[in-house]
């Protein structure tokens, strides 16, 4: 963050806003991280980013596990993400579409999506982020 801020200053680029777009958590699901621990680790990271200028986090909820291990499920992590977004004004969920990809046959392996799935989620997140940025009073 500081390197980007310095670069922008040196090149007379004005940063009007500094946002975080977050999509992560599958590895935590694979490692059976509890919702409380995931939330604690996310908030620790997010507070560090806020201290150096991040104003708002736009969150893309994680999808579903598509592998054969019976003991892996991403629901707890995804629900934690949605929960802390519900309780903080500076975190907004901008796409929930990854959670539909498994049922729609858009996963190419245990963890990854076909490009069509990524494109769909990217478009959804971009539209919802833009709506927030353009309609929220500063």
HEC assignment per residue over 23-74: CCCHHHHHCCCCHHHHHHHHHHHHHHHHHCCCCEEEEECCCCCCCCCCCCCC
DSSP-derived secondary structure letter, 11 = T
pLDDT at residue 137 above 80?
A: no
DSSP-derived secondary structure letter, 98 = G
pLDDT at position 110, please? 87
pLDDT at position 111, please? 85
pLDDT at residue 138 above 70?
A: no
């Amino acid at each position: 963050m500081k390197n980007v801020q310095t670069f922008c200053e040196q090149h007379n680029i004005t940063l009007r806003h500094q946002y975080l777009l977050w999509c992560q958590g599958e590895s935590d699901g694979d490692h059976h991280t509890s919702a409380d621990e995931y939330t604690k680790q996310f908030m620790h990271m997010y507070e560090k980013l806020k201290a150096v200028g991040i104003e708002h986090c736009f969150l893309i909820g994680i999808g579903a596990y598509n592998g054969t291990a019976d003991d892996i499920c991403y629901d707890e992590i995804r629900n934690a993400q949605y929960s802390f977004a519900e309780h903080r004004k500076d975190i907004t969920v901008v796409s929930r579409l990854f959670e539909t990809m498994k049922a729609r046959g858009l996963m190419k392996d245990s963890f990854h999506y076909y490009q069509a799935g990524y494109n769909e989620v990217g478009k959804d997140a971009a539209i919802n982020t833009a709506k927030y940025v353009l309609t929220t009073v500063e």
